[in-house]
Amino acid sequence: MLLSTRRQITAWIAANFAITRLGGQTFIGKPFATGELRLTLVAALSNTAVLDISPDGRSLLAFAHSGGRRMIGLQLINPESGKVTRSIDLPVRPDDGGFFREGTTAIVRLINLETSAKGSVVILWDVTSGRVTRRIEGAFDRDQFGFSFHPLEANTILGLGHDRTLKRGSVLALFRVPDFEEIARTPHYNPRLGPGVISTRIKVADNRKTFAYALDNEVFCRSTKTLEILWRNQIKMPSASVWINEVGISPDGTLVTASETTVNKQNEKALSVIVLDGADGSFIKRIPVRGDSNVAFSSDNRLIACGHSEIVGVKGEERHIIVEVVEVATGRRLATIMHDRLKRNNKDFLSSGVGVQFSPDGRYLVTKGFNSRVWRLPG
């Protein structure tokens, strides 16, 4: 009986963790999920990075690339089938992108290595017709600020601009499309506050009314209409240093999460996710789960997905890229996803992380990186 059990275990490991080659990259095994929350893998998108999910949850905005990250195309993908429904060729890979709230237009910023001194290339893509309706070279570089962006309503985008001279910090700005006319600007980080400030990515609520981010150990929430600070909360712990790795904001803006790292006087490190009230930033709870790569809320605010990666093995020969799904009310881990397992000889071994995003319709959880996976939620 014991021998039979060992053979079954060996067969299961062979089936789930065999080394495979996908698009020139080495992966160990298939993605899988365990736990009481039954997640079903419906699409495994190799060499495809998902940028955003449409507001109706029916399309993924993604770009495909070869193992060497050569750009193949910008795509719309059906999350259930994994099939490409629209695509266009691009000369270089996108840096970021997303859907506007009405869902018919996407905005994508390209990394233009040849003309980086002149600014980014930005396109507006009408996803219903498949046509590029606007292309701007050198957008967002007034006063030598290079911007990343977040689409809001049909004609407005939120931009985070970093000064290329590294002397004036960064700014937040609102732009009106399609002409990218700047309509508001406010400081984001002042370098006089001190060097080495850790700035997280901006996360915008699905209702497009508020957004959150963190600088070092302080979490900020601002209005998308005026850019004014609605609240700020400096996270502190007795006898320990704290910094924030990532933030998340619920679809309706009523909750904000921050994944934190703490280091005590004995140089012992701990990672957890804190939950804050989206109205005033007050502390609600701390959940002992890692989310240093990314944190995202489900559409009903009931769950958070927390992504991280860790190097394992006697000689650190593998990197496991993991997502954990946690119930907000209880802090219980309901599911653990093995998104990817990379061998040390993989060129993306050190840089691989994982993004997480729930679809607005509550049907899917997308885990994303150099490869992307679509998981169907139960119910």
Secondary structure, 3-state, 68-96: CCCEEEEEEECCCCCCEEEEECCCCCEEE
pLDDT at 113: 53
Alpha helix positions (H), the chain: 2-17
22: confidence class by pLDDT, cuts 50, 70, 90: very low
Burial grade of 7 (CB within 10 A; 0-12, 13-18, 19 or more): exposed
Full residue range of the structural domain in which residue 156 is found: 91-193
User: Is 105 part of a structural domain of the chain?
Assistant: yes
Percentage above 70 pLDDT, the chain: 78
**Side chain identity at 379, as an amino acid letter?**
G
In terms of phi and psi (left: phi > 0; alpha: psi -120 to 50; beta: otherwise), the region of 241 is beta
| First and final C-alpha spacing in the chain | 37
Q: How far is it, in rounded angstroms, from Cα 288 to Cα 269?
A: 12
**Among 114-118, 162-166, 264-268, where is mean pLDDT lowest?**
114-118
Q: Which residue has the higher pLDDT, 39 or 109?
A: 39
User: Is 39 part of a structural domain of the chain?
Assistant: no
User: Is 136 part of a structural domain of the chain?
Assistant: yes
User: Is 306 part of a structural domain of the chain?
Assistant: no
User: Is 169 part of a structural domain of the chain?
Assistant: yes
344: confidence class by pLDDT, cuts 50, 70, 90: low
Number of domains in the chain: 1
Residue 101 DSSP one-character state: T
With a cut of 70, say whether residue 141 has pLDDT above it: no
User: Is 310 part of a structural domain of the chain?
Assistant: no
- Report whether 160 contacts 120 (CB < 8 A): no
User: Is 354 part of a structural domain of the chain?
Assistant: no
pLDDT, tens digit (0-9, with 9 covering 90-100), for 162-212:
766 556 678 899 999 888 888 999 988 766 555 556 778 899 999 999 999
- DSSP assignment string, 214-230: EETTEEEEEETTT--EE
Range 2-9 contact pairs with CB under 8 angstroms and sequence separation of 24 or more: none
pTM, two decimals, is: 0.85
Percentage above 90 pLDDT, the chain: 50
User: Is 129 part of a structural domain of the chain?
Assistant: yes
Provide CB contacts within 8 A for 17, sequence distance 6+.
Answer: 28, 29, 30, 341
**Spatial CA neighbour of 40 closest among 48, 27, 31, 49:** 31
Beta strands in 166-302 (DSSP E): 170-176, 181-189, 203-204, 210-215, 218-223, 229-234, 240-249, 255-264, 269-277, 283-287, 294-297
Burial grade of 11 (CB within 10 A; 0-12, 13-18, 19 or more): exposed
